[in-house]
Amino acid sequence: MFEARLVQSAILKKVLDAIKDLLTEATFECSDSGIQVQAMDNAHVSLVSLNLRSDGFDKYRCDRNLSMGMSIACMSKILRCAGSEDTVTLRAVDNPENITFIFESPNKEKLAEYEMKLINMDQEHLGIPETSYSCVVKMPSQEFSRICRDLSQFGESITFACSKEGIKFSASGDYGQATVKLAQTADADNEEEAVVVNMQEPVKLTFSCRYLNCFIKAGPLCAQVQLSMSNDVPLVCEYKIGDIGHIRYYLAPKIDDDEEN
């Protein structure tokens, strides 16, 4: 028996919005410690790692470890049926073929149940090595979203260049070049709006706009985004999900073709 209850269905809605562009289906690993999702997009360029801790739920019960393959599109549709104030409960039996979504209105007058068929999926769990990144940048997620959207109009990829002064985003394309520089905030009195650069050594990486624009869909989950970068390793773009977990996006960098040859 698996049951997870979340008073704020809005959180789950936002999580689904954040991953539905990248993933078509994903395996939800449910264990005593919580729910974990790890899935790559079809091109194997980006990876979504979602972690929802059990203590973050209002009620959490997981008798046996379950891995449930779910269609993200379908799940997103179901969650769209929930009111933002509703309470959501996920329920499944031990050897499940279906998962049930139960939406309760705050005044308990409305109860909606949605049952979704599970899909069999190959296990494809990647071992992500623990890395100490050369640069860790924290910045307002809104700002990051804005930059990604703006620069993606100029080119298909954005170069992140991080130095002591701050972080520089740049894109160039047929129309010209665009550069946005963010300096480290001097006095961090407002934590949410601060730009914090934690740099061991300068990095310069290029990433595809297409994926970045998918990542920023997670912006509503958290006011701050954390970008972890090292040269020639994937970018980690992390959003906290309230106090129940986090969503991490890994994005493989674009590398110079000449270098490779």
Q: Which residues bind other proteins (CB under 8 A)?
A: 40, 43-47, 124-129, 155-157, 159, 172-174, 206, 208, 210, 233-234, 250, 252-258, 260
Min dist. Cβ of residue 46 to other proteins (A) = 7
Q: Are 124 and 40 in contact (CB under 8 A)?
A: yes
Q: Are 172 and 178 in contact (CB under 8 A)?
A: yes
84: phi then psi, degrees, rounded to nearest 5: -70, -20
- When the beta carbons of 61 and 210 are compared against other proteins, the nearer one is 210
Min dist. Cβ of residue 174 to other proteins (A) = 5
Give me the long-range contacts of 235-240 (CB less than 8 A, separation at least 24): 235/160, 235/205, 235/207, 236/133, 237/212, 239/18, 239/141
Min dist. Cβ of residue 157 to other proteins (A) = 6
Q: Are 19 and 50 in contact (CB under 8 A)?
A: yes
Min dist. Cβ of residue 121 to other proteins (A) = 15
- When the beta carbons of 103 and 250 are compared against other proteins, the nearer one is 250
- When the beta carbons of 10 and 205 are compared against other proteins, the nearer one is 205
- When the beta carbons of 155 and 166 are compared against other proteins, the nearer one is 155
176: phi then psi, degrees, rounded to nearest 5: 155, -150
